[in-house]
Amino acid sequence: MKIVDLMLKIDRRIIYLILAIVVILPLIIPSAQHVRVMAPVQKLYTAVDTIHPDKALMIDFDYDPQTQPELEPMALAILRHAFKKKIKILGLSLYVQPLGLAKAALDQVTGEINALAKTNSDSVIYGRDYVFLGWQPPPIVPILGMGESITNVYKKDFYGNQTDTLPLMKQIKNYNNVELLISISSGDPPLWWVSYAQNRFGLRVGVGCTAVSASDYYPYLQTGQFSGLMVGMKGAAEYEELVEKDLNIHKRRKASEALPSLTYAHLVMIVFIIIGNIGYFIKRRQK
Amino acid sequence: MQRTFPLILCFIFGILGIIPFIVPHPVVQHTDEFLRNDLLRILAAFALVLGLGSLLRVHFDKIQHRRENWQYSWVLLITFFLTSIIGLFGGVAGTGPLPTRIGNFSFDIQTIYLNVEVPLGATMFALLSFFMASAAYRSFRARSTEATLLLLAAFIVMIGILPLGNQISPHLPSFAQWIMDVPNVAGKRGIAFGIALGSLATALKILLGIERSWLGGGE
């Protein structure tokens, strides 16, 4: 009887403590786990990989500090992939909060590439190879406006430069020159891109999202409205796997390193749920 | 007039929002472009001022009347003005007219963001996992067939998406993916249709002035 009560009423502090241990310990000694790449991530990778050299990849960085651990590895992996393949990139955020993280991700990857570059053409140069457009409120305005003219919507970039003076923006006028948009987001922006940019201008949309919002997005993947889908830490780890194997880029794989923590956390939650259910069934039988 | 004028505005601008999706004529498209790129952004700027003004008023009022936890309002106000001044005059990375570096110590807006907002935001969200674990343990009970199915599906997806799932059986990740691709999509699509039809009906009611609760006044 006492054991059953214990099973049903484990002190929440014990749950917190065990969870904290299993999450923190693997992060102290990180080791990247290899994962099996599933179809939604493979589709997204192929969509980026096959972007025409004359067209650009637009990345909507819409993650904030709360979802940074899940979504930032996606942004880093996509940036490494695109820059390696010499794909032109336009970055932007639909909200103000992610701007700092977007800048940090762009700075990190361009810094990595430029540190190894031997010639000017190996380097990634702002204005020539990529532009960070910044933020324009409210979100729907830039989504619709860029269908006609990107430089009309973003007259100045994040750093205050006139966008129409940047060499890249002379080639990339509107969505006709953008082959794919990837929305890395913890909220609704992927759906806005489909509703407004895809339905009206035919823009292809790929998505990187948090695990909790993934179930909302699978219908769009099935219909082909999303050109690929990267879900949570596992999705980011899959993209990292592809970038490392296919492109031979060996950088720190944050998402792959976080997978042991995620594995143990899931197992702990499953064990606690099973304990609770065993206690519940014994109690019910006793009644 | 106080109620009629907003209703007329709502109707006109609602219709103007729909027409460009149907009529490709340049006049319509240019009008739409002007409305979105100029008018809407001006309105958004006003909304921002209104929101910030309202936020400041609430907190000044809280301090003035010594309401509960009024001390925290000082934290908000001081950080608000401090970061606003640094952001407005210091530039994104210390490139503005305001100096944002004392020796090796820099306090430009990007540094503040990365060293204050990022850890605070991440900490707040990290706490959620502990509450979720505790809540899952207390509430996930196989009380009925439906609840048991839900529980099993959750276990399969939770393990199947991890590398561990592939080690247990190579079919487990595929099965987890199938759960997301088929039963999940079927359910979500049904919900999406319901929401879309509901949104359409509500939008029509608002545009035609049948639904007026957004005007306030409790009519």
CA atoms within a 13 Å half-sphere pointing along the CA-CB vector of B137: 28
Q: Nearest CA of chain A to the CA of B45: how many Å?
A: 8
* List of chain B residues whose C-beta atoms are within 8 Å of the C-beta of residue A266: 158-159, 162
pLDDT at A268 over 80: yes
Question: Which are the contacts of A213, defined by CB distance < 8 A and separation ≥ 6?
Answer: A186, A187
Amino acid letter at A250?
Answer: H
Q: Quick one: tokens of A222?
A: 């099935």
Q: Which two tokens stand for residue A250?
A: 């060996």
3-class SS of residue A284 = helix
A13-67 tens-digit pLDDT: 999 999 999 999 999 988 888 888 999 999 999 999 999 999 999 999 999 999 9
CA distance A269 to A271: 5
User: What pLDDT does residue B110 have?
Assistant: 86
Percent of chain B residues past pLDDT 90, beyond the cut:
59
H helix intervals, B118-210: 118-139, 145-160, 163-168, 171-181, 183-207
Look up residue A73 and give its two tokens: 């590895």
HEC string of A206-238? EEEECHHHHHHHHHHHHCCCEEEEEEHHHHHHH
| Distance of alpha carbon A163 from alpha carbon A171, whole angstroms | 12
pLDDT at B98 over 70: yes
State the pLDDT at residue B162: 87
In this structure, what DSSP letter does residue A119 have? S
| pLDDT tens-digit readout, B155-178 | 999 999 888 898 999 899 999 999
Of A64, A211, A262, which is closest to B121 when you measure between CB atoms?
A: A64
What confidence category does residue B218 fall into, taking pLDDT thresholds of 50, 70 and 90?
Answer: low
Whether B4 and chain A come into contact, CB under 8 Å, resolves to: no
Out of A16, A219, A262, closest to residue B189 by CB: A219
Q: Tokens 């640094």, residue?
A: B86
Q: Is A257 on the interface with B (CB under 8 A)?
A: no
Cα B30 to chain centroid distance, Å, stands at 30
What pLDDT sits at residue A1?
61
Which 160-179 residues of chain A touch chain B by CB within 8 A?
A: 160
The candidate with the shortest Cα–Cα distance to B83, out of B48, B49, B107, is: B107
Q: What angle do CA B145, B150, B156 make, to 5 degrees?
A: 125
Whether the per-residue pLDDT at A3 is higher than 90: the answer is no
Copy the structure tokens of residue A237: 């780890």
Interface test with B, best of A218, A254, A268 (most B CBs within 10 A): A218
Res. A73: pLDDT tops 60: yes
pTM over cut 0.90: no
Chain A contact for B185, CB < 8 A? yes
Instruction: Judge contact between A51 and A176, C-beta under 8 A.
Output: no
A100: chain B residues, CB-CB within 8 Å: 109-110, 113-114, 117-118
Dist CA B57 CA B76 (whole Å) = 12
